[in-house]
Structure 1
């Protein structure tokens, strides 16, 4: 019986086959890309959608098949063919999503898929209940099965390639792969149809069952809608998964960066930035742990006499070298000293840098003083060896103080006692060591008591600020004042700054004290403003404050709290501190400059004295050290230096302040050199805030300078 096809039905089946192939490849990628429960959900849902799409192609092509007699399809066999399509799709997705791409696996997967697809086709053909029965040509059946195997192998191979293709090229490649796969599926169907022969006079007993144009339209619309909806859902899930993976990667990266930053911050907080050695904080932690071990060993076994020792090492004559050759040379020597000390330490010993040229060494499990003396002599020997520089060799010595626990040192005074022993060695001429003795403890006890009182001084309100005026060289009016810290001890009286500032720096108290000075200066400026006095106040910054990343933020907070213009606060830093680490100084100065704080270099001339370095700093003012001012009247060299500094500073647009002016002659010489401002006992000694206020109101010594209240005069 002659057969033919409806062209529109064939076209519809090809479109459905292509769309189903594209969706099938996308679903296979979702199964491959997900894991666990999500992968199982995509596998089950995808099998249903993919099977429906392939079955719809088969059903539409059957609807396009026409004989001279009415045709219809048995519902049970039609449903069974749909199940076969879903089963074949389940096998396909399972193999594609989990298969490792080896030839053996590819062959097995292809055969399993081919059996399922061929079963769907021939069960679907069985839905045509013909009498006499369809006559089958097994050559065409074999050809259709081979096509099914080939199409399945191509599908799996294409999916393997698609997984490796970059996302930007994947859509075009997937369309091409879908066209190839669709051709294979359609080829299987239409070759399989060639295997079916219909005798003349045959009748379709299922003609009154499923069939008709209406059913064709319904199947077409439902399958297209289902496939497109599934494709959109797959794309949305892929995008969500990609976004989640990016967020997870970002979180992991951020977490890694945070851990790295925390480790770096902890490293910075516990180590010396120049030498990389532990700082005082970390040394004290390790000392406390070592003391606990000694106590435990001595308690557990009375036969053991566990000991430890602390060595305080101070370089002899380091400051003159630093001042003469510059801080780069000094830093090189300190770094080399650290390396040499490391070489003398055992694995369980600790070497720390606790000051400019001061080092500590913790020795554990030492047999006695004799062993410590051997270590001290080795340290003196290695540090006495010349330090080789590019253009010179430099030799220094060191003094070492030794204290042993529990033999000759209380556990809470070990560092102080080692310090006292070191000073005893230094008083003996240096280049030697001294073991702590009880007679050395008097000074150490005094220092410890002073340190204890210093720790509580801020909370007890024992600090105050005194203010020394700065006088304009052109108008003879007071432009500003310098805030000077004073400590009034309840029993010792006024403790000189030279006695407690260095101690505050060595024991980590200077940061808190320095912040109090800034806040108190801002508070005082605000109070003066309400009393009719507008005044710029200068405060001194320590190197420890410069190393704090939050310095500018805390200064800005103090200015904001008291509603003070940033230009009213002048931050001074000594030249030697500024040059100690130009990177840190520049970073701090630039942060302060951004908020509008006035900046100055103090004690110029005592350190590296490099105006080329100063050009790198956003400073507006430079203060000449009092040692030069003191010799102005009797030394032509001093006058030449000061005049040169003033001229060069003016060339760099820096205002110049001379401090330590004590005589009329010094004043006149400086005014003749066009010095911008002068400060010293000749004009006024430091005074309390109330005394300064009364001075501004006219209650001042005769012929003393008046105050400039205008903003212009403060510039």
Structure 2
């Protein structure tokens, strides 16, 4: 019996030593302490984690290694649960003597060497989860913050705005300011995307410094920012901040190759508790678009009229998509006449669309919608195809009438534009000499996107090029020599004062004289009175266009005009070219 007891004790001692070796070698903190907090045991990893030398007795109480009252309360709660259930598992924090706080996951066990003892012994296993928390913070940062600027991203913006607008508590108002860098695309195209990104980051830092601690600045995307003022008495506080935002946009931005200056636009809306956060954001964005439409560098305050315009625009955009899908638009043609014999010498294709409920939509509004929605390239391509096809019908009848087709800056800058024109010419069989591509002065003013090369390529196809609205843009008479064009269309402002202003008449005469010397045709637009027709003929301008001779008319009316060789006095009212 004695041998059996000795053997059992030997086995127990061996098992204890094995457990002790495991505890000493484990990568986690292992400790035991009495209920009053006095430490009975701390393994080497625990000593290292808490900043003690291996040979030094940590002393003190376990509670001394908890950073604050919250952590101590959590520990005592865990001890009570462990006393009832045997174990407790949770998370807490420890603090080193140097003040460094360590997040831990913890398992707490309770046991007593003597069931009758007043003191109970607790053992704990703690794992340092600093790396896990750091990873969680990184994931949260990536999920809720913009990496480039460090600002809140759209997800966090919507979460915080929804919370700010939640009903409850004392009544208050929330202001939302939607801001954007004006014409950043021009900066990207001129200086490169790296400089554009630098502009956005610089302005982000400035905006962060303009708001109160309880307010939010977020990057909504691209060059757009949103500021949420969580409590404002009225819109005037938001307006004051908007002016400061505009000032921060306008400050010069230093970059590697120099200094540049941009402007910004701001849309403002003030919301009440309980308002839908997405609706509030949309209202501020509508106001931003209004500020941009007014020229940028300013703010706009959202109101009901603005909302109505926005709703109308959204509905029209939806209808536009259907129109583009079904081709439910038409072309009207305004003739261009010889000022002497008044015969039709060419026509200009003009876009027409009748809305099912609103009636005729102005071509200007339609083109603006197509531009903003990105549909202008597709629409322009289809207009080009239809105009060439209808012109071929006249040619087949024996009327080789040239057709003017307006092209937007966006179309001209498309890399495939010349190929698209070539494809339409091949598809329709039109003589390219009967195709006159019209573009405005501003389209070729910057010459930064290869527009001049595109015009040369069009002329190599056999097409002709007309410069529309001459006199309203940036081109000078001297520049006409260098532009690859065949025709100049004088803006209506010259024609209007022709018979009343000797200065206007002298300018028209000078332009006609220079254009003739450069082998360019001149077309006078906006001719609305017979006296203007005679005056233009006397000044040598043989090509005229305007309501005095004919409005834009349907294709079949053009055939009648050609057959009768006479102008049409009345037709489809109005007309606007496909220009941006």
**Aligned partners of 2:569 and 2:311: how far apart in 1?**
48
1:399/1:376 Cα in 2 relative to 1: closer, same or farther (>3 Å)? same
2:232 counterpart of 1:362: no
**Superposition RMSD on alpha carbons, in Å?**
4.5
Spell out the pairing of 1:20-35 with structure 2 (5 A cutoff).
none
2:561 counterpart of 1:695: yes
Deviation at 1:514, TM superposition (A): 0.7
Q: Deviations over 1:157-215 (max 9, x none)?
A: xxxxxxxxxxxxxxxxxxxxxxxxxxxxxxxxxxxxxxxxxxxxxxxxxxxxxxxxxxx
Equivalent pair of 1:632/1:669 in contact (CA under 8 Å): yes
Deviation at 1:533, TM superposition (A): 2.5
Q: Which residue in 1 is equivalent to 2:204?
A: 345
Equivalent pair of 2:348/2:403 in contact (CA under 8 Å): yes
Spell out the pairing of 1:457-472 with structure 2 (5 A cutoff).
457-472=323-338
2:530 counterpart of 1:664: yes
Q: Deviations over 1:69-120 (max 9, x none)?
A: xxxxxxxxxxxxxxxxxxxxxxxxxxxxxxxxxxxxxxxxxxxxxxxxxxxx
Spell out the pairing of 1:437-452 with structure 2 (5 A cutoff).
437=303, 440-452=306-318
User: SS in structure 1 opposite 2:414?
Assistant: coil
Equivalent pair of 1:311/1:400 in contact (CA under 8 Å): yes
Alignment gaps of 5+ in structure 2: 1-145, 169-173, 209-217, 254-259, 571-580
Q: Which residue in 2 is equivalent to 1:206?
A: none
Q: Which residue in 2 is equivalent to 1:645?
A: 511
Q: Which residue in 2 is equivalent to 1:262?
A: none
Q: Deviations over 1:352-391 (max 9, x none)?
A: 5xxxxxxx62337x4637697676332322456799xxxx
- Residue of 476, 480, 484 corresponding to 1:618: 484
User: SS in structure 2 opposite 1:581?
Assistant: coil
- Residue of 364, 368, 373 corresponding to 1:498: 364
Equivalent pair of 2:268/2:287 in contact (CA under 8 Å): no
Q: Which residue in 2 is equivalent to 1:418?
A: 285
Deviation at 1:344, TM superposition (A): 2.4
Q: Which residue in 2 is equivalent to 1:564?
A: 430
1:301/1:656 Cα in 2 relative to 1: closer, same or farther (>3 Å)? closer
Equivalent pair of 2:407/2:437 in contact (CA under 8 Å): yes
Higher strand share: 2
**Aligned partners of 1:640 and 1:383: how far apart in 2?**
45
Q: Which residue in 1 is equivalent to 2:178?
A: 311
Q: Which residue in 1 is equivalent to 2:388?
A: 522
1:309/1:519 Cα in 2 relative to 1: closer, same or farther (>3 Å)? farther
**Aligned partners of 2:477 and 2:276: how far apart in 1?**
48
Deviation at 1:438, TM superposition (A): 5.0
Equivalent pair of 2:402/2:434 in contact (CA under 8 Å): yes
Q: Deviations over 1:197-253 (max 9, x none)?
A: xxxxxxxxxxxxxxxxxxxxxxxxxxxxxxxxxxxxxxxxxxxxxxxxxxxxxxxxx
**Aligned partners of 2:162 and 2:280: how far apart in 1?**
22
**Aligned partners of 1:397 and 1:490: how far apart in 2?**
40
**Aligned partners of 2:442 and 2:394: how far apart in 1?**
33
Deviation at 1:457, TM superposition (A): 1.5
**Aligned partners of 2:482 and 2:274: how far apart in 1?**
53
Q: Which residue in 1 is equivalent to 2:244?
A: 378
User: SS in structure 2 opposite 1:666?
Assistant: helix
Spell out the pairing of 1:539-618 with structure 2 (5 A cutoff).
539-618=405-484
1:425/1:650 Cα in 2 relative to 1: closer, same or farther (>3 Å)? closer
User: SS in structure 2 opposite 1:633?
Assistant: coil
Equivalent pair of 2:180/2:225 in contact (CA under 8 Å): no
Alignment gaps of 5+ in structure 1: 1-282, 319-326, 353-359, 388-393, 705-715
Equivalent pair of 2:154/2:221 in contact (CA under 8 Å): no
**Aligned partners of 1:336 and 1:665: how far apart in 2?**
55
User: SS in structure 2 opposite 1:606?
Assistant: coil
1:540/1:410 Cα in 2 relative to 1: closer, same or farther (>3 Å)? farther
**Aligned partners of 1:604 and 1:555: how far apart in 2?**
24
Deviation at 1:637, TM superposition (A): 1.8
User: SS in structure 2 opposite 1:468?
Assistant: strand
1:377/1:472 Cα in 2 relative to 1: closer, same or farther (>3 Å)? same
1:549/1:336 Cα in 2 relative to 1: closer, same or farther (>3 Å)? closer
Deviation at 1:434, TM superposition (A): 4.4
Equivalent pair of 2:335/2:346 in contact (CA under 8 Å): yes
User: SS in structure 1 opposite 2:383?
Assistant: helix
Equivalent pair of 2:219/2:226 in contact (CA under 8 Å): yes
**Aligned partners of 2:371 and 2:262: how far apart in 1?**
25
